[in-house]
Structure 1
C-alpha cells in the first residue's frame, strides 16, 4: 500500500529518521536537515507537527482501512530525550538490503567465489530504483544524495571489475563506454574500460580511452592521470603478458589421508581489515603469483617504509587466496622492528610452527637445522600458506621457508631483504604511498564520503599533509571518527598548526604514533647512518645525489654511498633513480626533528658545506658550457668536501638536468640560512641554466632573492650583478619597462665601482630592454656603448655578442644589409670563443635578416646550422624559436608542407620548455591550414626572440 507522506519537508523528517537506522536524531539535527542555516522562527513547533502527521500516516487508528492486526503494531516513530527515532525490523529498508547484499558479495569475493559475488552485486544494483531522495529539499537530502550515488557507483565499479576478472568482456564494454562518458574524471572506470578493451584484442581503442581521460583531466583539473592509470597505459604499450586474463584456477591436489592424519590444519591468519581499500594494482600483481602443485614454492617480499600498509596488504591478500591452501595457513609476527627489541629468533619461530602443525614438544629436535628439516618435511606435498610478518633480515627468514611446490610464503619487512631476492628468487613488491584517489577512498571508507565531499579542498590538504601514508591517514580518520562534531576544516587546521613536527599524528598508543613507528626503523641504523639520516632532513630540495649527501655529511663519497644504501635498505629513504635519493615528506619531518637534537653549530656547518658544494659545482659546469665567461668570485670549499668535476660539455649538461629541481630550493635555503653571500652567488652561477631551459618565473623569483641577499650582505658588486640578473629575467618575461629601472641602478653602481666589464653588460641589457620597448634609436646607442666598452676591456666574448645584437637592432630598423654585416662579424668572433649557445642564436638572427632580404637558401642554411648546435647543447627553448623561423622562410619559399612540419616541431619544443610564443606558432598553423595569410617573421613577439636569447647569455 502506498502512503501519502505529506509535504517534501515532512518527507525529509522521515528520511532523516530512517537513515539513522534506529538511532536517535535530535530536534536540532532535524531542523538543520529541513532548513539548514535559515530555519523559520517556529521551526521546532512546525517540526513537531510533521512528526505528529507522520505517526498518523505510519500507524493510523484502528478504524482506518487496513488489516485487523495493524492496530496492534507498536508505534514506529518514538520520542526520545531530545529528539526522535524510528523502530523498524532489520532489513526493512531497501538500503539495508542493498548494503547486506554488497557485504555478502565482498565476502564471497574474498573467498574466491567470483561468479557468486558478481551475481549478488548485479541483483543489488538491479533493484536500485531511481535517484535516492529525489525531490526532497534541504542540506541533508543534498549530502545523502551524493553519498548514496557514490555508494551505488562504487558498487557498480566493483561489480564491473569482477566481471572483467571473469572475462565477461563483451558484456561490460558497452556499459563501461557509457559510464566513462557520464563520469569522465573517474579514473577507475577508465582503467576498467582500458583493461577490458585490451583483453578483447582492441589495443588501439584501449590507448584511445587513456588519451581521452588524460586530456579531460589536464583540461578540467590541470592534473595528470594517477599512477595506476599511467602504469596500465605503459603496460598496454609494452604488451605486458601479465595483463592477459588469469588462467583458470586449479583444484588443490588431493592428499592421501594417511599422510596428513597426524598433522593439524592451522588457520592462524589475523582478521582481515573490514575497511580495506585501494592497492588494486598491487593486489592484481600478487594474485597472479599464486602457485600450483608443480611450480616451485612461491615467495614474495613486501617491503616499504613504516606505516605504508605492508601487513594490511599481506593479510588481505592471504585471505583472498586462503581457499587455495586447504592444508592451512601459518602466521607469525617476527618483531623485526619492535619497540621492545625482542626479535623472534628463527629457532623460536620454527618451534611455534611445529607446535601449530601438531608436533608434540618431545618430538621436536634440539638443533635449528633439524627443526627446519622437520618443518620442511611436514609441508612436503602440501598446499600451505605461510605469512612471515615484520621480518628483520634474510637470515631470520630462511629456516622458515617451505621447500615443496604448491606453498606460498609472504614476507613483510621494512628491510628490502635483497638477500632473499638474490638467493631464493623472491618476488619483490615495494609499496609506495597511496595515490591521491586511493587516499580519498581510504578516508571515505573510515569517516564517510559525505564528510569529505563537504569540503573537497580541505580533504586534499589533509591527504597531502599525511603524505598519502596509510598510517597517518588512519590516525586522522580515527581523530575525526571519535569527534564527529568536528568539521573537516578543524582537523586540517590542527594538522596545519603542527607543520614542522609530527605532534598531530599520534593515535594514543605506540603502534598508532607516526613518530614512534618511525623510530623503530631509525633505531636499527648504525650510528654513522643515523647521523646522515638526520642531516638529510636539513636539505630543502626534493631529492639529493650521493655526492651532495657526502658534502652535507662532510664524508668521503664511497663511505656515504654505503650509508645511503643502509638507510635505503630499511625503507627510510627511496633511491628513485640510480644514485639519487628522496625522503618521504613525513620522514623528512622526522629527520628534521631528530636533527634538532644536534648542536646548532653542527647543523649550520652541514648546510654550509652543501651550499658551498652546489656553488662550486655550478661554477664548474660553466668551465664546460661557457669557458670565456667572467669567473665568479668564490671562497674555497670546506676541506672535508670533494668538488664536482666535469670532463665534457655533455656531462655538465646532464648534471644540470638532474639537479634542476634542487636549484631554486638551494638558493632560497641559502637566503633562509642567513648566508646572503652564498645566495646571490648561487643565483648568478645558475644564469645559463635558466637561459637554457626557460624556467622564467623561477629565474625571476631567485633573482629577486639574490638581490635582497646582496643588499643584506652589503656587497655592492653582488648587488650590481643581482640588479642585472633581475632585469634580464624581466626582459625575457616581456616586462622591459620594469627592467630599465633596475638596469639604471646597476649602471650607477658599476660606474661607482669603476667596473668597465660590468658596465658593458648593463649597456648591453639596456639596449635589449629598449628594443623590447620599441625605442630602437636608444637601443642602438646603448649597444654601441656596450661594443666600445667590451673592446676597451679586451672582452672578445662580449664584443661578439654586442655585434650580434647590433645586427638584430639594424634588422628591426629595416637596415638589412647593415644587419647582415654586423651579424657576420659577430658570428666570426663568437665562433672563435667556442661558446656554442651564442653561436647558435647569432646564426638564427642572421637567418632572419637573410630571410628579410629574400635570400631564402642562405637563411635556411643558417637555421639548420643553428639547430644542429641547439640540439647539441640541449637548448629546447632556442630550438623552438629557430624551428619557428625556419617554418617562416620555408613558407615564403613556396614549401607549405615543409613549413607545417617545422612549425609542429616548434610547437612541441615550445610547449615542453614553457615558451610564451607557443600560441603564435599555433596561430601560424591554424592560418596555414585555413589557407589564410600567415604573419611574417618580423610580426609580433617573434621579432625579439633572437635578441631575448642573446641577452639571456650576457651578464
Structure 2
C-alpha cells in the first residue's frame, strides 16, 4: 500500500519498500505538496517553501526538475500523481495515504465520537503516526514555521488524549506522565487542570489543592496575573469535594461561567458600502470558503491589499449579503493596524470589547488577557457568529481573537499578507487588485449619474486612466465631482494632469490617498522606506531582483527580504515571474519620498541601475551575436553588478523580459545627461530588436542615441549612430531618411574611421535593395566585401560574401551568386556563426529555386529554419517560411506549401507586418487555384486513360 510521510523524515513507501525521494531540496518540494495535498500550490509559493530568501537564478527550472524526478520516484505508487495546474502543482492522492492528513482525520473522528473509548483509540492511533519532528532534516524558513504549527497540533492532540483518558477513569495511569508534563509546562493552565483532576480523582485532593497554589503563585510572579476562570472554577469544585468532579464528568475545565451567560446577539457590522462595484470573483471565493465543509475548525479568510484598495468594503458587502448565515450575531472591530493617530489596538482590548458585546457581566470577566481570550473562545465555540477583524497589523494581533469550535467564520483585512495566519491557522488568502476600466466607469456613474458620465466621456476616460482602477482614488474624484455638480469633469482631469498625486489629497485623512499611503509608509522599517522610495524611481513598469539589487546597492539576498516585506505590506505586487511592480499612484508617492534623501543618493541609485542594464544588455548582445563589432564601455559603477547570460536562450529571455526596463533606462540616462550610456544602450538593443522585429522601438532608441551622440565629442559614436539610425529607417521603408543618415555616416567614416566604411556599405546595400535598386545594392555589397577582406576578419568577410551572392542572384548572376554563397557557408561553419550560416543557407535556397533545383531549395530552407528557430530570430523564421512555400508549391507539394505559408501568415500578423500579410494571403489564394487546376488535370488524365481502355 502506498504511504507518504511528513510527520518525521519525509518518506514515500510502496508496501514495505521505501522509495528514494531525492536530496533535501527535492524532499522539501514533496513536503510542500503533501501538506496541501489535493490543492494547487502556486509556483511562487513552492519556490518560497523550498528556498525562502535564496531562490537561485534558475529556481523555476530547478523546481521543474525536482517535480519531474519526484514523478519518476512515485510512479510505483499508482494512486499518486503530481499534476500541473494553472499557476502551480497539485499532488493528487487519497488523504488516507498521507500520515499528516490521516492524523487530522483521526482527530476529527475522535472529536465526533459518541463514546470516549472510541475517541481515545482514534487519538492514540493519530499520535502513533508521529516518528519525531515533522520534516526531520529539512531546514528552511517554511519548514521551521510549518514544523512549529504541526507541533502545536500534536500538542493539542496529546492534551485531548489526556482529556479522554481522564473521562474513562485512567487517572492513576496518567499521573506520572502529567507530573512530568507540569514540570515541562508550568504555566499551561490546561495541563495544570488535568493534573489537578488526576490527583483529586486518585484521592489526593490535598496534593491537588497544593499544586493549584503553586500554579497561582507562579502565574502571579512571572506574568502578573491570576489563574483563568476555568482553573479557578475547578479549584473551587475540588475544594468543595464536588462529586461530579471527583467521580467523573468533563476531563478538563472549560470556560463556562455559571452566571452572566451571554444573552445578547451582537450586531456590530457597520452599514454596507453604498457604491460597491464589481469584485464578483472575490465575493464568490469568500462564499466558496464558507461552503467548504473541509475548511477546518473555523473558516478564516484573510483579505489583503494596499491601503485604499477596498478591503473593508468587500468584507462588509459580503457580510451584509450573508447575514442569514450568522443568526447568532456579527462582531466587528477596527484593529487600527495602520492608523494615522496611534498604535495598533492591543488584542486584549478587542477581546474585551467582544465580551462586552456578547453580554458578559463585567464581574464575570477574568483579569488575565489569556483567560479573557479563553472565555471568548468558549462563548462562541458553538455559535454561528461572523467576526470581522478589520485593518489588522499582523498575525499576533489576530490570533487571540480567533474563536474555538467549528461554526464561526472570520474575515480579516490587512495591508500585511499575514503568512503566519495562513500557515498555522489555515487562513485562505484573498488579494485584492484594482478595478477594471468598466468597473471604474460604473463606479463613477453610480456616484455621479450615468448622464453626467456620458456627457463628458473623454474626461471620464482620462480620469479612469489616471486612477488605474484604484478605488480610493476613484472615490476621492467622485466625491469632489459630486460636491461640485456644476464643475466640468474636464476641469478635474486637468487638475490631475497638473498636480498629479497631490490632487488626491484631502484634509480628511481617510479620504486622502497620500495620507492613506503615508500610514502604510510609516509602518515600514527605515530600510524598507528607503528601498520603497528608490523603487518609485526605478526604470520600467516592473523590476526584477538583480535590477533591484543594483538600484539599492544591497546584496540580492538582503534586498529580496526587503522586497518581500514591502509585498507583505501590500505596497508591491510580485507576479508569477518573480518581478515586482507598484500601482502607478503608489509609485508616484514612493518617488515623492526620495526628495528627503541626501543629495546625490537618488542619482547614484539611478546610475547603478542604468549601468546594470547597460552592461548586462551588452553581455546579452554578445551572447546573441559574438561576431558583432564591439563597443568599449566604461567599467560599471560599484554596486551595479551586471549579469552575464549563459547563452542565446538566456539572453533572448532576458531581453524579452527586460525590454521595457531597458527603454526606460535609456530615457532616465537621457534625462540625467549620461549621453554615452544613451547611445550605447541603443547599440546593445539592436540585435535583439532585429531578431524580434521591434522596428518602431529600434527607431526610437536610435533617435535618442543621435541626440546624445551630437552632444559628445566622439566621431566614432556619431558614425555608429547614423549608420544604425539609417538602417532603422530603411527597415520601416523610410528610404530618403535612411540614405541621408547613411551618407552622413559614410562621410564621417571617410574622415575619421576608414575601416568602418565596410559596415556602412553593407547597410547601404540592404537599403538600396529595399528601394528596388538591386544593381546599386550589388555595388555597395561588392565594395563592403573588399573592405572586409582588407580588415582580415573572416566572420565579417563571410557576411559580405553572402550579401554579394544574394544581390548577384537578384541581378540574375546565378553562377556568381552560388560561388560566393558557398564560400560564405564554409567560412560561417568554420567560425561557428549560426546566424550567418542560416542567412547563407537561405540565399542558397533562393538560388536553387530560381534555377529550378526545387528539392535542393527545400532542403536548404529547412536547414536555415532550424538555425533561425534555435537563435530566436522570429523575423527571419517568418521570411524563410514564406520562401520555403514557393519551391514546395513548384514541386506540387501543396499541403506542405499551405502549412508553411499559414505559419508565416500567423507570424507576420504577430509582427504587425501588414504588407507581408497581404502578400502571403495572395500566395495562399494562388495556391488554391493551383490545387484546383492540378485536380482538374488529374481528372482529365483519368478520363483519357479510361477512354483508351
Q: Which secondary structure does the structure 1 equivalent of 2:502 belong to?
A: coil
How far apart in 2 are the matches of 1:812 and 1:278?
Answer: 61
How far apart in 1 are the matches of 2:669 and 2:705?
Answer: 10
Change (3 A) 1:787 1:308: same
Question: Map of 1:95-106 to 2, 5 A cutoff?
Answer: none
How far does the alpha carbon of each residue in 1:195-233 deviate from its partner, in whole angstroms, 9 at most, with x for none? xxxxxxxxxxxxxxxxxxxxxxxxxxxxxxxxxxxxxx9
Residues 291, 298 of structure 1: 8 Å contact kept: no
Displacement of 1:933 in angstroms is: 10
Q: Which residue in 2 is equivalent to 1:747?
A: 746
How far apart in 2 are the matches of 1:860 and 1:716?
Answer: 46
Question: Map of 1:135-284 to 2, 5 A cutoff?
Answer: 262-284=262-284
RMSD of Structure 2 on Structure 1 (CA):
2.2
How far apart in 1 are the matches of 2:626 and 2:657?
Answer: 21
How far apart in 2 are the matches of 1:920 and 1:281?
Answer: 45
Displacement of 1:374 in angstroms is: 1.4
Q: Which residue in 2 is equivalent to 1:895?
A: 893
How far does the alpha carbon of each residue in 1:800-835 deviate from its partner, in whole angstroms, 9 at most, with x for none? 111111111011112222222212211222223323
For this pair of structures, how many residues does the alignment match? 679
Q: Does 1:913 align with 2:911?
A: yes
Q: Which secondary structure does the structure 1 equivalent of 2:430 belong to?
A: strand
Q: Which secondary structure does the structure 1 equivalent of 2:690 belong to?
A: helix
Question: Map of 1:846-885 to 2, 5 A cutoff?
Answer: 846-885=844-883
How far does the alpha carbon of each residue in 1:841-874 deviate from its partner, in whole angstroms, 9 at most, with x for none? 2222221221111111111111111111122122
How far apart in 2 are the matches of 1:755 and 1:404?
Answer: 86
Displacement of 1:929 in angstroms is: 3.5
How far apart in 2 are the matches of 1:328 and 1:260?
Answer: 18
Q: Which secondary structure does the structure 2 equivalent of 1:504 belong to?
A: helix
Which segment is superposed worse, 439-448 or 364-373?
Answer: 364-373
Q: Which secondary structure does the structure 1 equivalent of 2:710 belong to?
A: helix
Displacement of 1:690 in angstroms is: 0.4
Q: Which residue in 1 is equivalent to 2:695?
A: 696
Q: Does 1:760 align with 2:761?
A: no
Displacement of 1:797 in angstroms is: 1.9
Q: Does 1:557 align with 2:556?
A: yes
Change (3 A) 1:808 1:260: farther
How far does the alpha carbon of each residue in 1:866-896 deviate from its partner, in whole angstroms, 9 at most, with x for none? 1111221222221111111111221111011
Find 1:777's aligned residue among 775, 778, 792.
775
How far apart in 2 are the matches of 1:878 and 1:562?
Answer: 43
Find 1:826's aligned residue among 805, 824, 827.
824
Q: Which residue in 1 is equivalent to 2:129?
A: none
Q: Which residue in 1 is equivalent to 2:634?
A: 635
How far apart in 2 are the matches of 1:672 and 1:295?
Answer: 55
Q: Which residue in 1 is equivalent to 2:386?
A: 385
How far does the alpha carbon of each residue in 1:432-471 deviate from its partner, in whole angstroms, 9 at most, with x for none? 1100000000101100111111122221110010121000
How far apart in 1 are the matches of 2:869 and 2:411?
Answer: 50
Q: Does 1:733 align with 2:764?
A: no
Displacement of 1:692 in angstroms is: 1.3
How far apart in 2 are the matches of 1:514 and 1:647?
Answer: 45
How far apart in 2 are the matches of 1:795 and 1:692?
Answer: 23
How far apart in 1 are the matches of 2:871 and 2:293?
Answer: 58
Residues 293, 405 of structure 1: 8 Å contact kept: no
Residues 304, 415 of structure 1: 8 Å contact kept: yes
Displacement of 1:260 in angstroms is: 11
TM-score by length of 2: 0.69
How far apart in 2 are the matches of 1:812 and 1:510?
Answer: 72
How far apart in 1 are the matches of 2:599 and 2:707?
Answer: 25
How far does the alpha carbon of each residue in 1:34-86 deviate from its partner, in whole angstroms, 9 at most, with x for none? xxxxxxxxxxxxxxxxxxxxxxxxxxxxxxxxxxxxxxxxxxxxxxxxxxxxx
TM-score by length of 1: 0.69
Q: Which residue in 2 is equivalent to 1:307?
A: 308
Displacement of 1:922 in angstroms is: 2.3
Residues 707, 722 of structure 1: 8 Å contact kept: yes
Change (3 A) 1:741 1:261: same
Q: Which runs of 5+ in 1 are unaligned?
A: 1-232, 239-255, 935-955
Q: Which residue in 2 is equivalent to 1:645?
A: 644
How far apart in 1 are the matches of 2:380 and 2:291?
Answer: 15
Q: Which secondary structure does the structure 2 equivalent of 1:290 belong to?
A: helix
How far apart in 2 are the matches of 1:600 and 1:688?
Answer: 38
How far apart in 2 are the matches of 1:548 and 1:844?
Answer: 39
Displacement of 1:791 in angstroms is: 1.4
How far apart in 1 are the matches of 2:275 and 2:436?
Answer: 17
How far does the alpha carbon of each residue in 1:98-127 deviate from its partner, in whole angstroms, 9 at most, with x for none? xxxxxxxxxxxxxxxxxxxxxxxxxxxxxx
Question: Map of 1:232-631 to 2, 5 A cutoff?
Answer: 262-291=262-291, 296=296, 297-499=298-500, 502-631=501-630
Q: Which residue in 2 is equivalent to 1:791?
A: 789
Q: Which residue in 2 is equivalent to 1:659?
A: 658
How far apart in 1 are the matches of 2:836 and 2:405?
Answer: 68
How far apart in 1 are the matches of 2:597 and 2:476?
Answer: 29
Find 1:810's aligned residue among 805, 808, 812.
808
Q: Which residue in 2 is equivalent to 1:711?
A: 710
How far does the alpha carbon of each residue in 1:357-403 deviate from its partner, in whole angstroms, 9 at most, with x for none? 11122222233322222111111121110100000111111111122
How far apart in 2 are the matches of 1:693 and 1:932?
Answer: 34
Q: Which residue in 1 is equivalent to 2:169?
A: none
How far apart in 2 are the matches of 1:789 and 1:381?
Answer: 90
